[in-house]
Amino acid sequence: MRYPNFVDGSNDLTGSDGQRTVNLMPEMVGAAGKSPARLIGTPGLAQVAEVAGASSGRGIFEGDLAGTKYFYAVIDATLYKIKTDGTSAVSLGSVGTDAAGSPVSHASGGPDMDTLLVSNGVAYSLLGGVLAPIDALDGITCLDCCYISGYWIVITSDNVFMRSEVGDVLTWDPLHYDYPDPQVEPLVACAANNGQVWFFGQTRTTIWVLDPTMDIGLSPLQGVVLQRGCLSKSTVKIVDNAIVWLSRMPSGGAQVAMARSYSPAKISTHWVDDILEGLGSSLTGAYAIVTEESGHEVYMLSIPSASTSLAFDAATRRWHERAGYSGGTWSLHLAKCHLAKDQVHFVTARNSGKIYTLDLDHLTDAGSSIRRLRRAPYLHREGDLLSISRFRLDILKSLGAEGSAPQAYMTYSANGGTTFSTPIGCSMGETDEDPNVVSLTWHRLGTGRHYVFEVYSDAPIRHVWNDAFLN
């Protein structure tokens, strides 16, 4: 029989579900397919550049370099101009850093336009490749920035927002400011989307729209105040034309929210919410990136004290995990900041000065193996004894380099996950009657009342896991 719901995301609710999907993501095929869904391997990494001795990549963007073979990157406290092939990295000056090494904020009107950069409370301009603090904002502690229709906008520690003159990142009238929230809510982040600016406070969010009748050029949407705040500015991203962020509820709890209009919807599951609740104060250091991978727009949330990064796929509305694996321990995915340029995904590293490309065709993380794991949902028959004679996993034939012997391993529990068997290996190179499919088969799996099956592989191949079957 087909294993019920073998293809799905992570939902590791102890004693109730237990599913995990790490470095694999579900993809819907359709009811007419041989299998209605499959698991595909997530992208790997290839190094293209490195700033030796650095501890973290805090930003990456095009600015006025769109259309050229360069981009900008903030590594630790320094802004660099870097060639896309990694052969050149030129320092443009310091932008400072905070103790947590948080990602910088940057805002540009589009290709070849000036950039506003906010780092450690200071606002900088980047004009024609020249970096300098903005004199008009000297002495003002800036927290975040965005751009909308010719205006650069900053939010400040005084809980106000300010806007530049039209098309001029250097000129700021000190009278062009306002309080986004009439309750003078402490501000955390701002973001522009669909002609609106969202101002995220600690407990509330307000929305302003372009309004040429106002001196400041914006006016608030009357009666629209969202009772959700923001825990970290670096989690606010645009996904599938909607705003997604790590939100703080009025009760103090944390959820991941998505908003297409003025009624945000919770997209985090109870499993994700449980993880967030257990991480407490470290949530303020969370950051996210958004990538597009063969039709999957993925929001990947990383929290410094977590063991894996949490990834939401907007195409399937399911969560999975992305992580490194070494010595029996999972660790956060390496990517910290992201830039899509010329259909190439560049990412900075969270723990070094390295810059990588992220691609489905990269079969390792810069030479380190990627462990891909699927722990299937509990299998039971209302407490009756089960006897399992065979477990079969069908995968797409995708062998590694010539002479390699890719392996997958299966381990199982017959007592609901309390203890697991010794992992049993199986070659991924034997074909079934279908020349495109490899059937991995494990026999004589004993008896029990609550089975849990787990399959993993470190093989550097293109992973496509179609379905699982049981006898």
Q: Would you state the pLDDT for residue 44? A: 98
pTM above 0.85, yes or no: yes
Q: Would you state the pLDDT for residue 15? A: 62
Tell me if residue 65 falls in helix, strand or coil.
helix
Tell me if residue 283 falls in helix, strand or coil.
helix
C-beta separation of 137 from 123 below 8 A = yes
Q: Would you state the pLDDT for residue 25? A: 97
* Residues 6 or more apart whose Cβ sits within 8 Å of residue 280: none
Q: Calculate the alpha carbon distances from 310 to 53, 244, 276, 322, 355 in Å.
A: 28, 14, 10, 6, 21
Per residue of the chain (471 residues), give pLDDT as tens: 888 899 999 998 766 678 999 999 999 987 666 778 999 999 999 999 999 999 999 999 999 998 899 999 999 999 999 999 999 999 999 999 988 889 999 999 877 789 999 999 999 999 999 999 999 999 999 999 999 999 999 999 999 999 999 999 999 999 999 999 989 899 999 999 999 999 999 999 999 999 999 989 999 999 899 999 999 999 999 999 999 999 999 888 999 999 988 889 999 999 999 999 999 889 999 999 999 998 999 999 999 999 999 999 999 999 999 999 999 999 999 999 999 999 999 999 999 999 999 999 999 999 999 999 999 998 877 667 888 899 999 998 876 655 567 899 999 998 888 899 999 999 887 555 566 788 999 998 888 888 899 999 999 999 999 999 998
Q: Which residues pair with 365 in a beta bridge?
A: 45, 368
C-beta separation of 75 from 54 below 8 A = yes
Q: Would you state the pLDDT for residue 174? A: 93
Q: Would you state the pLDDT for residue 390? A: 93
Q: Calculate the alpha carbon distances from 336 to 31, 70, 102, 232 in Å.
A: 37, 19, 10, 14
C-beta separation of 38 from 414 below 8 A = no
Q: CA nearest 38: which of 253, 273, 296, 250?
A: 296
